[in-house]
Protein backbone atom coordinates (compact mmCIF):
# COMPACT_ATOMS: atom_id res chain seq x y z
CA UNK A 1 0.00 0.00 0.00
CA UNK A 2 0.93 3.65 -0.27
CA UNK A 3 1.20 5.65 2.96
CA UNK A 4 1.40 9.45 2.91
CA UNK A 5 2.41 11.34 6.06
CA UNK A 6 1.69 15.04 6.43
CA UNK A 7 4.46 16.09 8.80
CA UNK A 8 6.55 19.03 9.87
CA UNK A 9 9.84 19.42 7.93
CA UNK A 10 11.50 16.01 8.13
CA UNK A 11 14.87 17.62 8.87
CA UNK A 12 13.43 18.85 12.18
CA UNK A 13 12.17 15.44 13.31
CA UNK A 14 14.08 13.38 15.86
CA UNK A 15 14.01 9.74 14.69
CA UNK A 16 14.78 8.52 18.22
CA UNK A 17 11.71 10.28 19.63
CA UNK A 18 9.12 11.22 17.01
CA UNK A 19 6.14 8.90 16.66
CA UNK A 20 5.69 9.98 13.03
CA UNK A 21 9.07 8.46 12.19
CA UNK A 22 8.19 5.30 14.15
CA UNK A 23 5.01 4.88 12.11
CA UNK A 24 6.84 5.50 8.83
CA UNK A 25 9.49 2.93 9.78
CA UNK A 26 6.81 0.35 10.57
CA UNK A 27 5.02 0.95 7.27
CA UNK A 28 8.30 0.54 5.41
CA UNK A 29 9.20 -2.60 7.40
CA UNK A 30 5.94 -4.18 6.29
CA UNK A 31 6.69 -3.53 2.63
CA UNK A 32 4.60 -0.42 2.03
CA UNK A 33 5.61 2.73 0.17
CA UNK A 34 6.18 5.77 2.38
CA UNK A 35 5.56 9.29 1.09
CA UNK A 36 5.75 12.62 2.89
CA UNK A 37 4.39 16.12 2.44
CA UNK A 38 3.73 19.22 4.53
CA UNK A 39 0.51 21.09 5.25
CA UNK A 40 1.50 24.08 3.12
CA UNK A 41 1.99 21.74 0.13
CA UNK A 42 -1.70 20.75 0.00
CA UNK A 43 -4.13 22.02 -2.65
CA UNK A 44 -7.60 21.42 -4.04
CA UNK A 45 -7.65 21.01 -7.83
CA UNK A 46 -10.76 20.02 -9.78
CA UNK A 47 -12.54 19.15 -6.54
CA UNK A 48 -9.82 16.80 -5.27
CA UNK A 49 -7.13 17.15 -2.61
CA UNK A 50 -3.60 17.18 -4.03
CA UNK A 51 -0.16 17.32 -2.42
CA UNK A 52 3.45 17.74 -3.43
CA UNK A 53 4.74 14.33 -2.43
CA UNK A 54 8.26 13.02 -1.84
CA UNK A 55 9.08 9.31 -1.63
CA UNK A 56 11.12 8.65 1.50
CA UNK A 57 13.36 5.73 2.41
CA UNK A 58 14.28 5.35 6.07
CA UNK A 59 17.18 3.69 7.82
CA UNK A 60 15.53 2.36 10.98
CA UNK A 61 16.88 3.27 14.40
CA UNK A 62 18.59 0.61 16.49
CA UNK A 63 18.42 -0.13 20.20
CA UNK A 64 21.56 0.24 22.32
CA UNK A 65 20.64 -0.72 25.86
CA UNK A 66 18.00 1.76 26.98
CA UNK A 67 18.73 4.21 24.14
CA UNK A 68 17.85 4.54 20.48
CA UNK A 69 20.63 5.17 17.97
CA UNK A 70 19.92 6.78 14.60
CA UNK A 71 22.06 6.62 11.49
CA UNK A 72 23.34 9.83 9.94
CA UNK A 73 21.70 10.41 7.51
CA UNK A 74 18.63 8.44 8.61
CA UNK A 75 16.47 9.15 5.54
CA UNK A 76 16.67 9.65 1.78
CA UNK A 77 14.22 11.79 -0.17
CA UNK A 78 13.11 11.34 -3.76
CA UNK A 79 10.90 14.27 -4.92
CA UNK A 80 8.01 13.16 -7.10
CA UNK A 81 5.86 16.21 -7.77
CA UNK A 82 2.15 16.77 -7.19
CA UNK A 83 -0.38 13.94 -6.93
CA UNK A 84 -4.02 13.50 -5.88
CA UNK A 85 -4.01 12.24 -2.31
CA UNK A 86 -6.63 9.65 -3.26
CA UNK A 87 -3.81 7.80 -5.05
CA UNK A 88 -2.60 6.97 -1.53
CA UNK A 89 -4.23 4.18 0.45
CA UNK A 90 -3.67 5.96 3.76
CA UNK A 91 -2.94 9.55 4.78
CA UNK A 92 -1.67 10.30 8.29
CA UNK A 93 -2.21 13.91 9.36
CA UNK A 94 0.75 14.35 11.73
CA UNK A 95 1.43 18.09 11.76
CA UNK A 96 2.28 19.17 15.30
CA UNK A 97 0.00 21.55 17.19
CA UNK A 98 -0.87 24.28 17.93
CA UNK A 99 -4.02 24.20 15.83
CA UNK A 100 -3.64 27.47 13.94
CA UNK A 101 -5.78 28.90 11.15
CA UNK A 102 -3.46 27.37 8.48
CA UNK A 103 -3.80 24.01 10.28
CA UNK A 104 -7.59 24.25 10.11
CA UNK A 105 -7.42 25.19 6.43
CA UNK A 106 -5.33 22.04 5.83
CA UNK A 107 -8.08 19.91 7.39
CA UNK A 108 -10.62 21.52 5.05
CA UNK A 109 -8.45 20.49 2.10
CA UNK A 110 -8.30 16.93 3.46
CA UNK A 111 -12.11 16.84 3.36
CA UNK A 112 -11.69 16.56 -0.43
CA UNK A 113 -10.05 13.15 -0.20
CA UNK A 114 -12.50 10.44 -1.28
CA UNK A 115 -13.01 8.33 1.89
CA UNK A 116 -13.94 5.33 -0.24
CA UNK A 117 -10.45 5.36 -1.71
CA UNK A 118 -8.23 6.65 1.09
CA UNK A 119 -8.25 6.35 4.89
CA UNK A 120 -7.32 9.59 6.67
CA UNK A 121 -5.90 9.26 10.21
CA UNK A 122 -7.20 11.17 12.03
CA UNK A 123 -10.43 12.31 10.39
CA UNK A 124 -10.27 15.99 9.34
CA UNK A 125 -13.73 16.57 10.82
CA UNK A 126 -12.68 14.81 14.01
CA UNK A 127 -9.56 16.96 14.28
CA UNK A 128 -11.64 20.11 13.99
CA UNK A 129 -14.13 18.99 16.62
CA UNK A 130 -11.59 17.76 19.16
CA UNK A 131 -9.71 20.57 20.83
CA UNK A 132 -7.22 18.59 22.91
CA UNK A 133 -8.25 20.34 26.13
CA UNK A 134 -11.99 20.88 25.57
CA UNK A 135 -12.72 17.41 24.17
CA UNK A 136 -12.17 15.81 27.58
CA UNK A 137 -14.95 17.89 29.16
CA UNK A 138 -17.67 15.61 27.76
CA UNK A 139 -16.40 12.73 29.91
CA UNK A 140 -17.41 14.24 33.22
CA UNK A 141 -17.17 11.00 35.22
CA UNK A 142 -13.44 10.56 34.56
CA UNK A 143 -11.98 14.10 34.55
CA UNK A 144 -10.89 16.25 37.50
CA UNK A 145 -13.04 19.24 38.44
CA UNK A 146 -12.56 21.67 35.56
CA UNK A 147 -13.72 25.06 34.38
CA UNK A 148 -13.11 26.97 31.16
CA UNK A 149 -13.28 30.75 31.42
CA UNK A 150 -11.65 34.04 30.55
CA UNK A 151 -13.10 35.73 33.60
CA UNK A 152 -10.62 36.57 36.34
CA UNK A 153 -13.42 36.50 38.92
CA UNK A 154 -14.64 33.03 37.87
CA UNK A 155 -11.09 31.64 37.93
CA UNK A 156 -10.40 33.29 41.29
CA UNK A 157 -13.53 31.77 42.80
CA UNK A 158 -12.61 28.29 41.52
CA UNK A 159 -9.06 28.61 42.88
CA UNK A 160 -10.28 29.75 46.29
CA UNK A 161 -12.60 26.75 46.45
CA UNK A 162 -9.97 24.19 45.42
CA UNK A 163 -6.92 25.61 47.16
CA UNK A 164 -4.63 24.91 44.16
CA UNK A 165 -5.20 24.55 40.44
CA UNK A 166 -3.50 24.14 37.07
CA UNK A 167 -4.13 26.59 34.22
CA UNK A 168 -3.80 25.41 30.60
CA UNK A 169 -4.05 27.46 27.39
CA UNK A 170 -6.65 25.82 25.14
CA UNK A 171 -4.26 25.87 22.18
CA UNK A 172 -1.07 24.90 23.98
CA UNK A 173 1.23 21.96 23.30
CA UNK A 174 4.07 20.11 25.00
CA UNK A 175 3.32 21.75 28.34
CA UNK A 176 3.72 25.28 27.00
CA UNK A 177 1.96 27.93 29.06
CA UNK A 178 0.75 25.54 31.78
CA UNK A 179 0.80 27.29 35.16
CA UNK A 180 0.41 26.15 38.76
CA UNK A 181 -2.02 28.50 40.51
CA UNK A 182 -1.62 29.19 44.23
CA UNK A 183 -4.30 31.26 46.02
CA UNK A 184 -1.56 33.11 47.91
CA UNK A 185 0.41 34.07 44.79
CA UNK A 186 0.53 37.86 44.53
CA UNK A 187 1.07 37.46 40.77
CA UNK A 188 -2.36 35.85 40.28
CA UNK A 189 -3.95 38.82 38.49
CA UNK A 190 -1.00 39.23 36.14
CA UNK A 191 -0.88 35.50 35.36
CA UNK A 192 -4.56 35.47 34.40
CA UNK A 193 -4.28 38.66 32.36
CA UNK A 194 -1.33 37.25 30.39
CA UNK A 195 -2.88 33.80 29.93
CA UNK A 196 -6.28 35.12 28.81
CA UNK A 197 -4.77 37.95 26.76
CA UNK A 198 -6.48 40.54 28.93
CA UNK A 199 -9.70 38.56 29.17
CA UNK A 200 -10.08 37.94 25.43
CA UNK A 201 -9.35 34.17 25.35
CA UNK A 202 -10.68 31.44 27.65
CA UNK A 203 -8.33 29.06 29.43
CA UNK A 204 -8.86 25.72 31.12
CA UNK A 205 -8.39 25.52 34.88
CA UNK A 206 -8.37 22.14 36.63
CA UNK A 207 -8.08 21.27 40.28
CA UNK A 208 -4.48 20.35 41.04
CA UNK A 209 -3.88 16.61 41.38
CA UNK A 210 -1.06 15.94 43.88
CA UNK A 211 -0.44 12.62 42.10
CA UNK A 212 1.09 14.69 39.27
CA UNK A 213 4.43 14.47 41.05
CA UNK A 214 4.28 10.69 40.49
CA UNK A 215 3.84 11.14 36.76
CA UNK A 216 1.57 12.10 33.85
CA UNK A 217 0.72 8.88 32.03
CA UNK A 218 0.39 8.83 28.24
CA UNK A 219 -1.86 6.01 27.01
CA UNK A 220 -1.93 5.28 23.28
CA UNK A 221 -5.34 4.27 21.92
CA UNK A 222 -5.80 2.60 18.55
CA UNK A 223 -9.39 2.59 17.29
CA UNK A 224 -10.53 3.30 20.84
CA UNK A 225 -8.53 0.50 22.49
CA UNK A 226 -5.41 0.98 24.66
CA UNK A 227 -2.28 -0.60 23.19
CA UNK A 228 0.50 0.85 25.36
CA UNK A 229 1.48 3.46 27.90
CA UNK A 230 4.43 5.35 29.32
CA UNK A 231 4.67 7.42 32.50
CA UNK A 232 6.27 10.87 32.29
CA UNK A 233 7.69 11.88 35.64
CA UNK A 234 8.56 15.53 36.40
CA UNK A 235 12.22 16.27 36.99
CA UNK A 236 13.76 18.62 39.55
CA UNK A 237 11.41 21.36 40.73
CA UNK A 238 9.30 21.19 37.53
CA UNK A 239 5.65 20.20 38.16
CA UNK A 240 4.95 19.34 34.50
CA UNK A 241 5.73 15.84 33.29
CA UNK A 242 5.84 16.60 29.55
CA UNK A 243 8.92 15.15 27.88
CA UNK A 244 9.41 18.44 26.04
CA UNK A 245 10.13 20.14 29.38
CA UNK A 246 12.40 17.43 30.77
CA UNK A 247 9.94 14.82 32.02
CA UNK A 248 11.50 11.36 32.40
CA UNK A 249 9.74 8.57 30.48
CA UNK A 250 9.53 5.43 32.63
CA UNK A 251 7.97 2.00 32.26
CA UNK A 252 4.40 1.63 33.47
CA UNK A 253 1.28 -0.52 33.28
CA UNK A 254 -2.32 0.40 32.44
CA UNK A 255 -4.44 0.11 35.58
CA UNK A 256 -8.04 -1.08 35.84
CA UNK A 257 -9.16 2.52 36.44
CA UNK A 258 -7.31 3.67 33.32
CA UNK A 259 -8.93 0.90 31.27
CA UNK A 260 -12.26 2.16 32.56
CA UNK A 261 -11.35 5.62 31.24
CA UNK A 262 -10.45 4.14 27.85
CA UNK A 263 -13.78 2.28 27.77
CA UNK A 264 -15.57 5.55 28.51
CA UNK A 265 -13.73 7.52 25.81
CA UNK A 266 -13.19 4.88 23.10
CA UNK A 267 -16.66 4.77 21.48
CA UNK A 268 -16.73 8.55 21.01
CA UNK A 269 -13.25 8.51 19.47
CA UNK A 270 -14.34 5.87 16.96
CA UNK A 271 -17.52 7.81 16.18
CA UNK A 272 -15.44 10.91 15.41
CA UNK A 273 -12.88 9.06 13.27
CA UNK A 274 -10.13 9.64 15.83
CA UNK A 275 -8.28 6.36 15.38
CA UNK A 276 -4.81 7.16 16.78
CA UNK A 277 -5.03 9.06 20.05
CA UNK A 278 -2.99 9.75 23.18
CA UNK A 279 -4.81 10.10 26.50
CA UNK A 280 -3.12 11.93 29.36
CA UNK A 281 -4.03 10.52 32.78
CA UNK A 282 -2.95 11.74 36.22
CA UNK A 283 -3.96 9.96 39.41
CA UNK A 284 -6.74 8.06 37.69
CA UNK A 285 -8.24 11.13 36.00
CA UNK A 286 -8.32 12.00 32.31
CA UNK A 287 -6.73 15.42 31.77
CA UNK A 288 -6.28 15.70 27.97
CA UNK A 289 -7.15 13.91 24.72
CA UNK A 290 -4.31 14.31 22.19
CA UNK A 291 -5.47 13.86 18.59
CA UNK A 292 -3.34 16.06 16.34
CA UNK A 293 0.07 14.40 16.59
CA UNK A 294 0.13 12.15 19.68
CA UNK A 295 3.55 10.88 20.60
CA UNK A 296 5.02 8.30 22.97
CA UNK A 297 5.60 5.26 20.77
CA UNK A 298 9.41 5.41 20.92
CA UNK A 299 9.34 5.66 24.71
CA UNK A 300 6.90 2.73 25.03
CA UNK A 301 8.89 0.59 22.59
CA UNK A 302 11.94 0.77 24.87
CA UNK A 303 10.14 -1.43 27.36
CA UNK A 304 8.52 -3.93 24.99
CA UNK A 305 9.95 -7.48 24.91
CA UNK A 306 11.58 -9.18 21.94
CA UNK A 307 12.14 -5.94 20.02
CA UNK A 308 8.39 -5.49 19.50
CA UNK A 309 7.25 -2.19 17.99
CA UNK A 310 3.96 -0.46 18.74
CA UNK A 311 4.03 1.06 15.26
CA UNK A 312 3.68 -2.42 13.78
CA UNK A 313 0.36 -2.83 15.61
CA UNK A 314 -0.83 0.46 14.14
CA UNK A 315 0.10 -0.51 10.59
CA UNK A 316 -1.47 -3.97 11.04
CA UNK A 317 -4.72 -2.30 12.06
CA UNK A 318 -4.58 0.10 9.11
CA UNK A 319 -4.05 -2.81 6.71
CA UNK A 320 -7.05 -4.62 8.17
CA UNK A 321 -9.25 -1.50 8.10
CA UNK A 322 -8.44 -0.75 4.48
CA UNK A 323 -8.98 -4.35 3.37
CA UNK A 324 -12.35 -4.61 5.15
CA UNK A 325 -13.52 -1.33 3.60
Query: Which residues are designated catalytic?
Result: 133, 168, 218, 232, 240, 280, 288, 290
Closest CA to 221 of 253, 156, 265, 160: 265
Instruction: Decide: 7 and 36 in contact? Cβ < 8 Å.
Output: yes
Q: What is the DSSP letter of 96?
A: P
Kindly write down the DSSP assignment for every residue of 223-284, as one continuous string.
Answer: TTEEEEEEEEE--TT-----GGGTPEEE-----HHHHHHHHHHHHHHHHTT--EEEEEEETT
C-alpha distances in Å from residue 216, one per residue of 120, 176, 205: 29, 15, 17
Q: Give the C-alpha separation, 279 to 269, whole Å.
A: 11
> In the chain, which residue ranges form alpha helices assigned H by DSSP?
19-29, 101-110, 124-129, 152-162, 188-195, 256-271, 297-301, 310-324
Tally of CA atoms within 13 A in the half-sphere of 198 that contains its CB: 0
C-alpha distances in Å from residue 164, one per residue of 37, 149, 188: 44, 16, 12
Number of other CB atoms surrounding residue 319 within 10 Å: 16
Exposure string over 200-224, b if 16+ CB within 10 A, otherwise e: eebbbbbbbbeebeebbbbbbbbbb
Amino acid sequence: MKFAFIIDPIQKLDPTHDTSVALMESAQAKGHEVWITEAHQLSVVNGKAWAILDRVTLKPIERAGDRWIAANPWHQIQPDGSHPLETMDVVFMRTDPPVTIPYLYATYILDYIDPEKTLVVNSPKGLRSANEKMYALQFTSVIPETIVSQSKAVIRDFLDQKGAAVLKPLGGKAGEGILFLDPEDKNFNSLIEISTKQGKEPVMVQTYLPEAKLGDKRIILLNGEPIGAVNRVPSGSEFRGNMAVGGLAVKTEITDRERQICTEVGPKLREDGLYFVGLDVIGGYLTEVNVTSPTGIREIDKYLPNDERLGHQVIDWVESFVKQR
